[in-house]
Structure 1
């Protein structure tokens, strides 16, 4: 029969174990239990429990918990900043890539802004690394990438300032000398802005190519751009633009000034089509903006459209007898061409009754209706485009791949027409929009997807 050894430990207010070798015979007594088992009673000394140690551990634990929570909050804070700055970094990267792609993709470089943003990224990475006490390779990689981007910006600025700027200044000086030379040989002087005290167009300057369209898409060959011909106060520097791969016109973008146009930063985008809820789309590319109102060829029904950019409402008027069978020479759907000059708003078109010859109508802007009509003798499909200056209609035609010619003029003031020859250079062969703006005396052309403009010189009266 196996005997079971049972130890009963009895102490005062607290208990503790003693090593076996310290068990003295006076401290241990033994006896047999009721069922023959051996019972040993051990009397231990009265030892106090180390409560102060437990309290110290508890305090340390609370302090560590608070520190961990603080670091968690820091990580969450930096994570939020990182998400925002990563988004900015993506935008910054695209801007740097644009700068690297060549000088033709920008007009003004804000190098200091780039440096400020890069310093912000550098500071964030440093803080994250120190806060997390991390030596992960990703931080070193990010830091190296930011430093490389900073060096690239410095190189681009150095390149721009030491070469492009000098070349540009010298080019401007040379251009001014040539223009002065030419001015001395020709009898002309430009009238003041808004004035018609001149003898008509003398010549058209060289094409100034701003850049590829804001969508940076060479397939977007159809479209138009320009300035408001009679801007509201505060909108004198505003530009508009739209283009697409076909003549369908569905939106217009507005830019605060020329810099934002080039940097592709619209302040507003007006949608002319939203599913089945709204369909104010147009056709063709010969639209203009006047008094913050867009005038364009309405798609359905075939008519002239008017979109108020302030109220964001549209209306249309059918042009009496206008036909949609006679477009300009370069492309289809150019049936209604809107133009503005120092004297008002116009639309050109053709009719079946005129056998496709170009008709000019003066638009009463308040009534949005034709108030006067003039019949010309030129066949509309032989014309590449037309525009108005001081009540005179000018029509163009193609001479060759690189040359365009203003070959026809109709003076609405005298109701007289004449054939003229004013040749000017095309940037590329195919263009769909050409309009004169009386606010700066320039022609605006959308030439095969590019923004192109021309200065216009006038004869003396």
Structure 2
């Protein structure tokens, strides 16, 4: 009997201990089944994503091929358009030379005598040189580089043999950059090989000039002053307030210029405008030693749409444009000696492609113009002819 009871107890204990193991195994099997299902789903999704990625890659490759074809087509169209534009420009140049714009109208005598105001000197200018050239056409244009602001000026010493380049960046500053030669200016970064010349007073506008070792520049305090600054000694030699009242911007497209100092074979000149004669540009001869005005003229050249001007052999050439930049042209000429007029001189066009000239400095030695066009430094080579050939 005792043996039977012992067997029964052994069986009961075995059943009790085996039941948790079966439950645990069943739980593990269930979890494994869930994992197998998730792995199967991951494989399906991975295969689907791989197929979609492959299809997307093929689509992108086709798009790139189409873009490359369109780019080649656009390139060909641009080349054809460029050829057509160049042909059209040549035709426009020809038409412009055959149909020049109307010349400037002579100024009304009342403008200079209004209300008993002080008359400009009407006598003809007595030339000090035998220069009798006038501009026939612009024969070449060379773009040197792009430097600095949209407005500025660059020039050489217009009365010396120096090769130094002077750069005025902007329409208002106090630092002039000086390069020893054209090569350094052309090839260097904006200020890498430049010597900085700090001026005692800031300038205004782009009407400054380097002449015979001195810098003549415009300063605005209570009035506009002409400052004569020695580049050798870095000191002010002289300054003067010109006998000009109620000044207004001299160029309709360059509102920052109230006085423009220029040079030619005769010396220094001042281009300006006043409220008394607010529709037309005025001209004066400047003594470089004393900064005094030797003679003054009212010109028939309008301020409207003028962008810059310069003097050659005693003749003022005014360059015009439009508010929406097109082609610059010399449309008005005023000769202080009275030997030529706008009616006798053909309209000269500049082959520019940017905006509006903020400065144009004529170099009498080189017969070239150093121009600043929307930040680009440009040299225009001029073709000259004798005044007698105009008649």
Asked whether the 8 Å contact 1:249–1:283 carries over to 2, the reply is yes
- Please state how far the C-alpha of 1:364 moved relative to its aligned partner: 0.8
Asked whether the 8 Å contact 2:247–2:275 carries over to 1, the reply is no
- Corresponding residue number in structure 2 for 1:224: 153
Q: Is 1:306 equivalent to 2:228 in the alignment?
A: yes
Q: Which of these residues, 270, 295, 300, is aligned with residue 197 of structure 2? A: 270
Q: Which of these residues, 240, 244, 255, is aligned with residue 332 of structure 1? A: 255
- Corresponding residue number in structure 2 for 1:111: none
- Corresponding residue number in structure 1 for 2:212: 291
1:182-239 Cα deviation digits (max 9, x unpaired): xxxxxxxxxxxx98555411001232100111xxx4xx111100111111xxx52111
Q: Which of these residues, 319, 325, 347, is aligned with residue 401 of structure 1? A: 325
Asked whether the 8 Å contact 2:248–2:278 carries over to 1, the reply is no
- TM-score for both structures, normalised by structure 1: 0.51
Q: Is 1:209 equivalent to 2:132 in the alignment?
A: no
- TM-score for both structures, normalised by structure 2: 0.60
Q: Is 1:440 equivalent to 2:366 in the alignment?
A: yes
Asked whether the 8 Å contact 1:204–1:423 carries over to 2, the reply is yes
Length, aligned pairs only: 252
Asked whether the 8 Å contact 2:253–2:305 carries over to 1, the reply is no
Question: What SS does the aligned partner of 1:320 have?
Answer: coil
Asked whether the 8 Å contact 1:388–1:436 carries over to 2, the reply is yes
Give the Cα–Cα distance (whole angstroms) in 1 for the partners of residues 136 and 257 of structure 2. 27
Q: Pick closer, same or farther for the CA change 1:323–1:261 going to 2, 3 Å.
A: farther
- Corresponding residue number in structure 1 for 2:356: 430
Question: What SS does the aligned partner of 2:338 have?
Answer: coil
1:84-135 Cα deviation digits (max 9, x unpaired): xxxxxxxxxxxxxxxxxxxxxxxxxxxxxxxxxxxxxxxxxxxxxxxxxxxx
- Corresponding residue number in structure 2 for 1:316: 239
- Corresponding residue number in structure 2 for 1:281: 202
Q: Pick closer, same or farther for the CA change 1:385–1:397 going to 2, 3 Å.
A: same
Q: Pick closer, same or farther for the CA change 1:332–1:456 going to 2, 3 Å.
A: same
Question: What SS does the aligned partner of 2:185 have?
Answer: helix
- Please state how far the C-alpha of 1:431 moved relative to its aligned partner: 2.0
Q: Pick closer, same or farther for the CA change 1:332–1:198 going to 2, 3 Å.
A: same
Structure 1 unmatched runs, 5+? 1-193, 273-277
- Corresponding residue number in structure 1 for 2:264: 341
- Corresponding residue number in structure 2 for 1:240: 166
Question: What SS does the aligned partner of 2:252 have?
Answer: coil
Asked whether the 8 Å contact 1:205–1:455 carries over to 2, the reply is yes
Q: In angstroms, what is the RMSD of aligned CA positions? A: 2.2
Give the Cα–Cα distance (whole angstroms) in 1 for the partners of residues 184 and 330 of structure 2. 32
The higher relative CO (CA closer than 8 Å, separation ≥ 6) is in: 2
Asked whether the 8 Å contact 2:146–2:375 carries over to 1, the reply is yes
